[in-house]
Amino acid sequence: MIGLLGISHKTASLDIRGQYTFLTEEIQPFYEEVQQATDITDMVVLSTCNRTEIYFSQSKYPSKKAFELVLEQLNQFKKLENSHAEYFYRKKDEDVARHLFEVIAGFDSMVIGEDQIIGQVKDAYLFCTKANMTDAVLMRLFQKSFEAGKRVRTETAIKVGATSVSAAAVEVCNNLVDDLSQKKVLLIGAGDTAGIALQSLMKKGVTDFSVSNRTLENAELLAKRYNGKVIPFEYYPNHLSLFDIVMVVTSSPTYLIDKEMVETSAEKRNGKPQLFIDLSVPRNIEEQAGTIPGIRLFGVDDLKQNIAENTEKRLVAVESARPIIDEMVAEFCDWYASRSLRPAIKAIKANLQRVNQEELNGYKKIDSEEVQRQVDEYTNHLTQRYARILIKNLKEITDNGRDAESLRVINELFKVNE
C-alpha cells in the first residue's frame, strides 16, 4: 500500500502543527527510527509552515496498523506525550495520489495556486531519494505529481492575479508609482517571504534595491542572488529617505520603523512621495506613519481585498483543473495496479517455459539438428503465444490488477508466492 499520514493548516492550529515540523537534518534520523522499529523502509517527509506529511510505501502491515505505527514513531521522535491523533488525516493508495497532486497544483494551499509549494515538494522528494529512502512506487508517485502540477499551471488560469501577500504588495507598488522599474527599493527582512517579494519586484523591472536584515549574512545572500546592495541593520533608519519604496517583512514583535523615523525621512525628501509596505504580523511600521503628508502606508489587512478578488478567479480555475488531476491520478493508479500482476505474469511465463523444456527433452533423441532446431522454434513460439493470451486475459479478469479476489485466485492457480 501507499500511505499518507499528515497534519495541515486545515486540520490543526499553528501551535499544534509546530510540534511536528521537521528540520532537514531531522528527516533521516526519523526515517531510521521508523525503519528500525517497523521495517517500513520507503518514505518521503514533507514539512512546510502549513503542513507536515509522511508518505510511505509498505506491504507488511494492514493499513490501519501501519498508520498507528508511523504516528507512534512520530510522537516518540518528537518526544510528545499527547499523540494528537485527531488532528491527523490518513490516506491510502488512490487517495494519496489525488491529495499529493492537488497539493502540488496549489489546490490545498492557504494561497490557492501559489508556486512555492512546488519547490518545497521537490526539495523533500530529492532529499529523501538521495538518502535512499524511496522505492520505485514513491519515485513514480512524486514524478507524476510534478507533471500534474506543471499541467495545471500551464493549461488553466490558476495563476491569474496575485494571491500571496507579497505578490499583492508588488501589484500595489506597480499601480501606485510611475515606472516601478526606475524606483529605488529598500527591503527590510531576508526570509522566504522577503525573497518572494523581491523576486516579484525583479519581474516588474526593479534593479536598484538594497536589503537590510538583523542577520547580516542572510541579507548578503539575498542581495547577492539578485545583484543588490546591503545596508547593515543598525544603519537602515538613517537611509530611509534614499528610497522611493520601503518594504518590511520580518518577525519582529516591535516596530522597526516608527512615526518619527518616517517624519525625518519625509523632511529629507522635500515632499517627494514615499511608499511604505508592511508585510509583517504584528506590524513593524507604526500605523500613524501613514498620516504624514507624502507618505502612503499599506499593511497586510489593506492587501486582503486584492487577494480575495484574485482568489475568486483562481477558485474557478480549480474546477477547470480537476479533469487534469483526474487524468493524472488514473494514469498513476493504472501503473500502480499493474505492478500487482507482475508475480502472476512471471509465474505464467516460468510455468510455460518449464513445461516446454520438459516436453522438449523427449525429442532429444532426434538425430537431425535441423529438425531439432525447428522443434525448438515451434515450441518457443507456441509458449510465447499462449503466454500473451493468458496475460491478456489475466489483465481483463483482474481489471488490470484492481480486483483483489480474482488476483488471489489466479495467484493460487499459478502457485504465486507473494
Q: What is the pLDDT of residue 33?
A: 97
Query: pLDDT at residue 108 above 60?
Result: yes
Cite the annotated binding site for NADP(+) by residue number: 189-194
Q: How does the average pLDDT of the chain come out, rounded?
A: 86
Percent of the chain scoring above 70 in pLDDT = 81
Classify residue 92 by burial, with Cβ atoms within 10 Å: 0-12, 13-18, 19+. Answer: middle
The residue extents of the domains of the chain are 2-155, 165-305, 340-413
Annotated catalytic residues are: 49
Residue among 88, 161, 101 nearest 324 (CA): 101
Order of strands across the sheet that contains 245-248: 229-230, 209-212, 185-188, 245-248, 274-278, 295-299
> Taken in order 187, 192, 198, 204, is the CA torsion positive or negative?
negative
Domain 165-305 falls in which CATH fold? Rossmann fold (3.40.50)
- Residue 333 C-beta-side C-alpha neighbours within 13 Å: 16
Q: What is the pLDDT of residue 39?
A: 94
Would you give the distance in Å from CA 233 to the centre of its chain? 34
Cite the annotated binding site by residue number: 48-51, 109, 114-116, 120, 189-194
pTM above 0.75, yes or no: no
pLDDT tier for residue 398 given thresholds of 50, 70 and 90: low
Domain range 2-155, CATH class: alpha beta
pLDDT tier for residue 304 given thresholds of 50, 70 and 90: low
pLDDT digits (tens, 9 = 90+) for 124-175: 999 999 999 999 999 999 999 999 999 999 998 887 665 567 777 888 888 8
Question: What SS3 class is residue 66?
Answer: helix
Distances (CA, A) of 168 to 140, 197, 296, 383: 36, 9, 16, 66
pLDDT tier for residue 418 given thresholds of 50, 70 and 90: very low
pLDDT digits (tens, 9 = 90+) for 29-48: 999 999 999 999 999 999 98
